[in-house]
Amino acid sequence: MAVQKLPLAKAINESLRVALETDPKVLIMGEDVGKLGGVFRVTDGLQKDFGEDRVIDTPLAESGIVGTAIGLALRGYRPVVEIQFDGFVFPAYDQIVTQLAKMHARALGKIKMPVVIRIPYGGGIGAVEHHSESPEALFAHVAGLKIVSPSTSADGYWMMQQAIQSDDPIIFFEPKRRYWDKGEVDNEAIPGPLHKARVTQAGTDVTLAAYGPMVKVCLEAAAAAAEEGRSVEVLDLRSMSPIDFDTIQTSVEKTRRLVVVHEAPVFYGSGAEIAARITERSFYHLEAPVLRVGGFHAPYPPARLEEEYLPGLDRVLDAVDRSLAY
């Protein structure tokens, strides 16, 4: 493939293809992942090329899908499970948090759980109820799970392979409104660590930290702020559990200000943990309180109101202005 410009969905598709070709123990399971290729076509063509024993159309039973994946992992397989939409994961929540997350510790390290659960998440596509949730904090709170989310095609390609190769259970949140955003993918590049944050734009006045769908918004905010003479550093966190606090701390001790941005509600969101930890670590470097921008503490609204609910450019810039006003 060398270097290609691919949409995020196609980059993940190519990554899954490489994993299936490389390791015969890799399986893909989910509702409509086979003949249809998934509702977002992320698994398009894989069943045709690898067969129904490797790319498996399952019944509409999320708990059964994840339970089966746990059994397959116990037998040495590396299942990749697709949950069709974020809001559909909750029938499987019991299996994920009471079995998948705890099996390794329960077996005193003798059992590995190399299961990847792919979840398209977030809003911005005008979907109906239960199709636009951001439940990442519910999983990040659970010890034994690792939580990641790519924001670019390159990360979608490499992070998926790294997740499949990991012996730990990983929840792989895919920002559905970025599925069609194109970016360069180099299949010969050496990726950094899966859970390492990245500085996507250097700055000196304030740090914006985000992941998944909000990284693009933060980059747009940084560009708008630059027109007013303000230098904004943008961090792509990439991982919500574990969180790369060292990279955040280094950035904050340079800029002395931090704004954390995510689509999920601010209340009890991952931004709260980041704010608390950075305040503990860098209290004497901060010149303003850590601010958070996110969704409201309310059920996700109908499609026509989602632009009012989701944090956008104006709300991020307002937080930057408030931080710099201290």
Residues with a catalytic annotation lie at: 131
- Which amino acid, residue 91? P
Between CA 146 and CA 78 the distance in angstroms is: 16
List CB contacts of 193: < 8 A, sequence separation 6 or more: none
Tokens 């304030």 correspond to 206
Tokens 């969905």 correspond to 9
| Short-list 297, 233, 253, 250, CA closest to 271 | 297
CA distances in angstroms from 101 to 64, 104, 167, listed in the order given: 16, 7, 12
Strand (E) positions, the chain?
3-7, 26-30, 55-57, 78-82, 116-121, 146-148, 170-175, 182-186, 198-201, 206-210, 232-236, 239-241, 258-265, 291-295
Residue ranges in 227-305 assigned as alpha helix (H): 245-255, 270-282
Q: Is the peptide bond before 242 cis (omega within 30 degrees of 0)?
A: yes
